[in-house]
Amino acid sequence: MPWMPYVWSMQTATPAVPTPSFDLHGWRREIPVLERFVPLNACSHAPQTTRTRAAAEAYLDSWNRDGMDWHGWLAEVDAAKAEFATLIGASPDEIAVSTSVSAATASLASALDFSGARTRVLASEAEFPTVGQVWLGHEKYGVQVDWVPVRDGLIETGDYAEAIDERVRVVSACHGYYQNGFKQDVAAIASAAHAAGAWIYVDAYQTLGTGPIDVKALDVDFLAGGTLKYLMAAPGIAFLYVRSELIDKLTPAVTGWFGRANPYAFDAKSLDWSPTATRFETGTPPLLNAYVARAGLSIINEVGPGAIQEWTDQLQKRLIDGADQRGLEIQGTRDIARKTPSTAFLCPMESHLVEAALRERGFLTSARGPAIRIAPHFFNTLEEMDRALDALVEVFAAGQR
Ligand SMILES: Cc1ncc(COP(=O)(O)O)c(C=O)c1O
C-alpha cells in the first residue's frame, strides 16, 4: 500500500477533548464553594454564586437603608417572573409566583373542576411525592387518581395513551424523574392528553436549567418548577406557568389578595380575578427569594440552556463511560437523550453513608433510595467526573470490607 500521510494522521489522531462553548473557568471563579468541594448535587441544591449572594445582599441593604421599598421589591418579583418566562418561552403574564412547587400545584389543583364527567387525574409514578400527594388530597372531592407505572426506572410513553380516556381532567407527567434523571417525552404525552380532551401539568423542577424548554413547542398547559436545583438559586420560591388561553377559565380555591385584579382594593367581600396568571398567587410574594431567583435564572439564561445541555451531555457521557470502565451499576436509562444530567449509581450499602463518605472526600452528591445521584452542572469539568467516580469506587470498596 502506498504511503498515505493524510490517512495515517487521521487514523492516529487523538480525538479532540470536548470543551464547553462558554467561559467555564470564568464561571467557576463565581462559585466560592469550589475551593472546598466539587458540587455534583445540582439535582438537589445548586451552589451559591457571587451573583446570587450579591442579590440577597441587595435586598438586605435596601431593607436596612430604605426601611421599606414595597414597589421596588415587587418590581424584583416581576423581573424574576420575566426571567422565568424567557427561560421557558412564555409570556410574563402566564407566570405566577409561589413559594414551592407543592404550593403552586395545590393552587392549580384547586382551580380544576372535577364535578362533571372528568373525575380522573392520571399521574406518573415518577412524580415527586409532593405532586402525587396534592392530587391524592383531592380524592375527598371525588377525584380518582390513577398511576402510569415506572418499570425498570423509566416510563414508556405509550402507557399514557393507553390509560387516558374522556374521564381524565389532567395528566400529571413530570419532565425529569427525581430518582434517576429519566426524562419523559412531554410533547408526546401532551398530544395524547389533548387528543382525549385532557390537560397536561408538568413538574419540570429536574429539567429547568439543564437544557432548552419551550412550553409552546411542548404544548403543555401547566408547568411548575422551583429554583434551588439547576436554576442556581435558593428555596422559598417557585413559578407556575398557565397557558394564556386557560387563565380566564380557572379560578383557584387556594387564593389570596395577590390573586385579585387589584390587590390594593382591600375588599374582603369581593373575589374578582386577576386577568393574568397572578390569579394563581396567594399572599405576599417571597421578596428576598425573588432577588436570588432572578440572579440564578439570569445566569442560566446568560450561559444559555442549549450550551448547558451540550456540555452536561459531555459530562454525563464521561460519567457513564467511566462507570462502565470501573464496573459501577447505573439505575435507569443510560441513554443521554432521555436523561437529565443526574445519574443514579446503585449502592452496595446505605446510600446516605455513601453521600457522607463522598462529602468527606470533597464531593457533594445526593442519596435517594438505593442510589447515589451524581448530578453535574455547567460549571463542572470532565476531570471532576473521573475523580468523583474514583472516589465512589473507593467508598464502595471501603464499605464492603
Ligand atoms: C421534581 C421535583 N418536584 C418537586 C420537588 C419539591 O418541590 P417543593 O419543595 O418546592 O414543593 C422536588 C425536590 O425537592 C423535585 O425534585
Q: How is the chain split into domains, by residue range? A: 18-42+305-400, 53-302
Tens-digit pLDDT profile for residues 210-256: 999 999 999 999 999 999 999 999 999 999 999 999 999 999 999 99
Strands 330-331 and 238-242: unpaired
**Calpha distance 14→272 (Å, rounded):** 67
Distance 24 CA to ligand 1 centre (A): 28
289, three cell numbers? 427569594
Give, using CA atoms, the residue closest to atom 14 of ligand 1. Answer: 44
Question: Model pTM?
Answer: 0.95
Atom of ligand 1 nearest to the CA of 206: 1
Tell me how far apart the alpha carbons of residues 72 and 86 are, in angstroms, rounded to a whole number.
Answer: 21
The stretches in the chain having pLDDT less than 70 are 1-13, 401
Topology given in CATH for the domain delimited by 53-302: Aspartate Aminotransferase; domain 2 (3.40.640)
Q: What is the pLDDT of residue 6?
A: 38
| Ligand 1 centre distance from Cα of residue 339 (Å) | 18
Alpha-carbon dihedral 382, 386, 391, 392, rounded to 10 degrees: 100
Rounded distance between C-alpha atoms, residue 96 and residue 238, angstroms: 9
CATH number for the domain running over 18-42+305-400: 3.90.1150.10
Ligand 1: residue whose CA is nearest its atom 16: 178
Ligand 1: residue of 102, 108, 128 to mutate (most ligand atoms within 8 A of CB) is: 128
pLDDT at 2: 39
Report the C-alpha gap between 240 and 223 in whole angstroms. Answer: 6
**pLDDT recorded at residue 57:** 98
Q: What pLDDT is attached to residue 12?
A: 57
d(CA 10, ligand 1 centre) in Å: 48
* CB-neighbour burial class of residue 357 (10 A; exposed 0-12, middle 13-18, buried 19+): buried
